[in-house]
Amino acid sequence: MKLITLPKYFKEYHWSNIAAMIKNNRQHPGVCTDEFRDRLVVISGATSGIGYLTARKFASQGARLLCINRNEKKSADLKAELEKEFGVSCKYIIADLSVLADVRRAAEELQRLDSPIDVLIHNAGVYLTRRELTAEGFDKVFVVQHLASFIINILLSEKLKSQERARIILVNSEGHRFAAWGLRLDDLNWEKRRYSGLKSYGSAKLAQLLSMLLFDEHFRSTGVNINAMHPGAVRSETGQENGAIYRWVKRHFYDKILRPTEISSESIYYLAVSNDLEGVSGKFFNLTTEEEPAPPALDREAAYEVWAKSVEMAKVPDILIKS
């Protein structure tokens, strides 16, 4: 008689966690009314959607902005808009976060800043319905959703620790649950399996959550906190690369049932500024409600495997190795 082998993590799934996620998706986010005047906020993907509204939220509270974007004209327009409307400084770095050389260059520019980075928001993302590889031969979704933030965090780690105070926000997703049985580190480029947009997206978000566990450990007692959040089921610009049919379906069906994007920017501001989050690190939030992620996102053994693979792919120093 052939024994049935249950998938890894099967016994760790509980209906109560799924019920909590569904309940949390309907919650209103916490609101922080504190100003953030003259504090420096770095945010990626700030010219549209969640990133754009988040940039406006911080600017409305007096923060200085440094945005990492792909498009020069949109970046210049955003700079002019925020500086005119709110009287704040808004600078930008042009970088394609699917290109590792661009990611490293952006991180190196941030390293050279004289002023401390008070908040670092990894917001840029991509969702693809068809497999696309980067110039380096990696799955584009994995690079943008995970590897870019991983590289920037690695290269900025010493600067952030020297400041003795900073908050890192990973705009993650409940979509990490699409990688229900964990990552396939032997097939990150989807060469052995049929490509799935949802599973590719989920795998990248899961990798980001697993790396967060070890970044949290590395930053412990340094004053640097790192947390991840699901920005809510809101209208955003994600998926615009997927062609006319996808955009039509999104506009006429998905966007009609999704919540306003403002709840995402309010949530990010709360997590980045509120005193309620002082000292809180290594957690996953659904908007501003702390939530337990899927079991694969809590696997520390897998976290070390993802970390080692990411270091290898990105060709960055392994900051977990003690000299």
User: Residue 239: what pLDDT?
Assistant: 45
Establish if 114 belongs to a structural domain: yes
CATH number at residue 262: 3.40.50.720
Establish if 100 belongs to a structural domain: yes
pLDDT above 90: residue 165:
yes
Q: What is the mean pLDDT of residues 55-73?
A: 98
Q: What is the mean pLDDT of residues 241-263?
A: 54
pLDDT above 60: residue 77:
yes
- Angle (nearest 5°) at CA 218 between 217 and 221: 80
Establish if 298 belongs to a structural domain: yes
User: Residue 232: what pLDDT?
Assistant: 84
What are the residues whose beta carbons fall under 8 Å from the beta carbon of 133, sequence distance 6 or more? 139, 140, 189
User: Residue 321: what pLDDT?
Assistant: 82
Which tokens in the block code for residue 203? 């795998």
For 32-53, how does the pLDDT look when each residue is reduced to its tens digit (9 = 90+)?
999 999 999 999 999 999 999 9
Total domains present in the chain: 1
The order of strands in the sheet holding 90-94 is: 90-94, 64-69, 40-44, 119-122, 166-171, 224-230, 284-286, 289-291
- Between these two residues, 6 and 34, which has the higher pLDDT value? 34
Q: What is the mean pLDDT of residues 210-232?
A: 97
Establish if 46 belongs to a structural domain: yes
The count of other CB atoms within 10 Å of the CB of residue 255 is 12
User: Residue 242: what pLDDT?
Assistant: 45
3-state secondary structure of 16: helix
The pLDDT mean for the chain works out to 91
Nearest to 227 by CA among 293, 134, 140, 147: 293
Establish if 17 belongs to a structural domain: no
User: Residue 291: what pLDDT?
Assistant: 96
Q: Which domain holds residue 299?
A: 30-314
Establish if 1 belongs to a structural domain: no
User: Residue 256: what pLDDT?
Assistant: 44
Establish if 65 belongs to a structural domain: yes
Quick check: 123 and 42 in contact, CB under 8 A?
no
For 273-318, how does the pLDDT look when each residue is reduced to its tens digit (9 = 90+)?
999 999 999 999 999 999 999 999 999 999 999 999 999 999 999 9
pLDDT above 60: residue 266:
yes
Establish if 9 belongs to a structural domain: no
Of the pLDDT bands very low, low, confident and very high (cuts 50, 70, 90), residue 18 is confident
For 124-145, how does the pLDDT look when each residue is reduced to its tens digit (9 = 90+)?
999 999 999 999 999 999 999 9
Residues 128, 175: Cα–Cα separation, whole Å: 13
